[in-house]
A and B are shown apart, each in its own frame.
Chain A
Amino acid sequence: MAMTEQEILTGLGEIIDEVAGVPADQVTPEKTFVDDLDIDSLSMVEIAVAAQDKFGVEIPDDQLKDLKTVQDVIDYVRRSEVSA
């Protein structure tokens, strides 16, 4: 069954807390990774890897640069779930 936006957001919050030490409650959909959450390209790779484990959705390196906000990742995961 597909996950809700809220479920993905909660999961992402846990991942970002573990990978980058950003408290989960600061991870809201409109936040940008680089400017708002201070997350760099290497942390994005770690987030993508953890997201694959958690959501079963692969995010390749060449897609990462287009995922600028938390909402972008939520959308990506939902799109990939539909097509999977």
Chain B
Amino acid sequence: MRLTEPVAGARILAFGGYQPARVVTNDELAATVETSDEWIRSRVGIASRRIAAPDETVADMAVAAGGKALAASGLSAEDIDLVVVATCTPEVQIPNTAATVARRLGINAPGAYDMNAACAGFCYALAAASDSVRAGTAGHVLVIGAEKLSQWIDWTDRSTCIIFADGAGAAVVGPAAEPGDAGVGPVVWGSAGDMADKIYINDRDSFIIQEGQAVFRWATTALHPVAKQACERAGVDPTELAAFVPHQANLRIIEAIARKLGAPQALVADDIVTAGNTSSASIPLALSRMIERGELASGAPVLLLGFGAGICYAGQVITVP
């Protein structure tokens, strides 16, 4: 049997992000549930978040972010042969989101699948995309994290409605000519199914339930070793990182992990302040905005770390396109 020709490495060619137009401030939430701007800022670090319009779908947001990443990559739709959408809030069970997104972006008949690793989704999808490129099963992959969490929130539950939000982020992954040009490092991933009951949505008529304190304890104790291991496997010392872009779950978790990672020089993403927690979208969305603002130099090493319901987690070092 003949097999595909492996490729030396994979790299990210471009990022793109999309946020819905509607800004929801803490004061707006404080008008309907018992909370305050000060309380939300100090507990989770969010000042405002974006919420999709009622008729705006996960696919709409994925198309917007994916289209931007594709345009920024300099490639055209026909160059993409695999589309992966990380989402835990698809509109329907079938059809999947990826095939619809591909069609709307004019990508002709690519491999297309959705992936659910909740808030770790983008890092899982990026690892799968990178491996597909390296194995020679895909040429260029469009990887998207897109969520409409607002549809799964009990807007009278002040412990969750202040946290979650909507948005999408995307990356185009392609081959690196030489191993030295590789831009996606080895993934360190895992799960803790014994904590499945800490963050869940029971069924179609339910809302996100989260045991905040238990998740906080887990995230601030279990994740920095994963982050360090991802650096080690990529051969990048934490002190060499230009930035640390973890899932934007809670600013207090982000700061605690960053402190324990030991990368005092690294720019730590704080996109949550104006984006809220957008689950699988948060990492590529934060990255696209940091690149847009000129905060990250091309070629700079950046550590990504996704974590959330499952519990699932994944981290890898990338280089900025």
Contacts and interface: CB of A to CB of B under 8 A. Distances in A.
A41 B213 contact: yes
B220 A46 contact: yes
Contact of B220 (A41, A45, A61, A64): A45
Given A46-B256, A61-B214, A40 B43 contact: yes
Interface residues of A, number: 9
Interface residues of B, number: 11
A49 interface: yes
B22 interface: no
Interface SS of chain B: helix
A30 to B, nearest CB: 25
Nearest to A43: B252
Interface in B196-213: 212-213
B42 A61 contact: no
Nearest to A60: B217
A57 B230 CA distance: 30
B239 interface: no
A1 interface: no
B255 to A, nearest CB: 10
Q: Residue among B43, B213, B252, B256 with the most chain A CB within 10 A?
A: B213
B218 to A, nearest CB: 10
Contacts of A61: 213-214, 217
A49 B220 contact: yes
A49 B257 CA distance: 13
A46 B256 CA distance: 9
A49 B42 contact: no
A2 interface: no
B213 A45 contact: yes
A42 B252 contact: yes
B311 to A, nearest CB: 16
Nearest to B259: A18
A45 B212 CA distance: 11
B213 A49 contact: no
A35 to B, nearest CB: 16
18 contacts: A40-B42, A40-B43, A41-B213, A42-B43, A42-B212, A42-B213, A42-B216, A42-B252, A45-B213, A45-B216, A45-B217, A45-B220, A46-B220, A48-B217, A49-B217, A61-B213, A61-B214, A61-B217
Given A40-B42, A45-B220, A61-B213, 5 more contacts: A42-B212, A45-B216, A45-B217, A48-B217, A49-B220
